[in-house]
Structure 1
Amino acid sequence: MAHDQQQSKWKGKASAELAGPKAEQVWPLLEDFFGLNKWFPTLTTCLGVEGINGQPGCVRYCAGFKTPVNGGDKIVNWTKQKLLSIDPTELSFSYSIIDGNVGFNSYISTVKVVPGEDGCNIHWWYEVEAVEGWKLEDLDAFIGSGLQVMVMAKRMEEALHASSNQKPSLVYPS
């Protein structure tokens, strides 16, 4: 986990490598801004609440994840996230958290799919004001393992592999 600690802003990056699937196969899964719960291991809810999915300005409501500061608490964390930009040519998008109960202020994240030699990589950059009650390591853990970019990537890899191995079903007229 790479990170840079400034006095008022924390910055970092998480990455995951997918062996096999090409960037063009993974991108449609990520560009579905309202469908993050399909891939994100601890997210139980992801609903579009404003705008058109995949268009800048749309807003999603995400809930169900836990942060490192929750400990044993039964708090359901939630955020509203606004899509700032999306570039299907560069296979990237940026979003910000505009509301929530996790204490993130000025959170902006950029997700990019990068072609690799034998598959692709997902890179997830973030920047946020220092979070009260947290250490930078907490945020790194949340982005890297809390968000579980690796698990998310693995789920995508498995779904793409399964869909490419399925044989078309033949329907014969009766």
Structure 2
Amino acid sequence: MASSKWQGSVESNVMAPLEVVWKITRDFYGLHKWFPGMKSSERVEGAPEQGVGSVRRCIRPLHDGTESCVLEELISQDDSNHSYTYRITETNIPGFNGYQATIQVCEAKEQDNCLLKWSFEMDLTDGHSKEDTEALFSSILTGIAKHLEQLISSQ
């Protein structure tokens, strides 16, 4: 099976202030709180304060009745740039070899809005196109943005 490394990124507007969105999304162990459909996200290794090297286990139900299980390691966090980078160390989802991603919250042109950016690098394997993968990630990020807006407005 042939594979090649590639990079992509998607972004979505969030109708909420940057600092509020960052406070929620920077919680490495709290992914299940803001990622729609995530069943759980829990600490496996590392300090409770989520330093570099921390590992989380993420469980998400799949359409076929099974669950995805992903171990992700925090490899950097930069509060001044409102970003963190993580990599998948183990997964039962095909096609995520060599996956590493950065989540960043940026200022938007509109007041009290921000931009949520998801940049990623992975091995693109046979049967998965760049275009389809970016479209999938864009759709997921749009759902995340809407979920964040609902979460924030209900607080």
| TM-score category of the 2 structures, normalised to the smaller one | 0.7 to 0.9
Of 78-87 and 9-18, deviating more is 9-18
Pick from 5, 10, 29 the counterpart of residue 9 of structure 1.
5
Task: Tell me what 1:48 maps to.
Answer: 43
What displacement does 1:23 show?
A: 0.8
Task: Tell me what 2:115 maps to.
Answer: 121
Q: 1:65 to 1:86 in 2, by over 3 A?
A: farther
Segments of 5+ residues of structure 2 without an aligned counterpart are none
What displacement does 1:136 show?
A: 2.4
- Written as runs of structure 1 = structure 2, the 5 A alignment for 1:49-128 is 49-52=44-47, 53-66=49-62, 73-103=64-94, 104-116=96-108, 117-118=110-111, 119-128=113-122
Segments of 5+ residues of structure 1 without an aligned counterpart are 1-6, 67-71, 164-174
How far apart, CA to CA, are the structure 1 residues paired with 2:60 and 2:100? Answer: 20
Q: 1:128 to 1:134 in 2, by over 3 A?
A: same
Q: What SS does the aligned partner of 1:8 have?
A: strand
CA contact (8 A) 1:86 1:92 kept: yes
Q: What SS does the aligned partner of 1:102 have?
A: coil
Question: Identity rate of aligned residues, in percent?
Answer: 32
Question: Does 1:156 pair with 2:148?
Answer: yes
CA contact (8 A) 2:4 2:125 kept: no
What displacement does 1:93 show?
A: 0.4
Name the aligned partner's letter for residue 94 of structure 1. Answer: T
RMSD over aligned CA atoms reads 1.7
Number of matched pairs: 149
Normalising by the residue count of structure 2, what TM-score does the alignment of the two structures yield?
A: 0.87
Q: What SS does the aligned partner of 1:55 have?
A: coil
How far apart, CA to CA, are the structure 1 residues paired with 2:74 and 2:92? Answer: 19
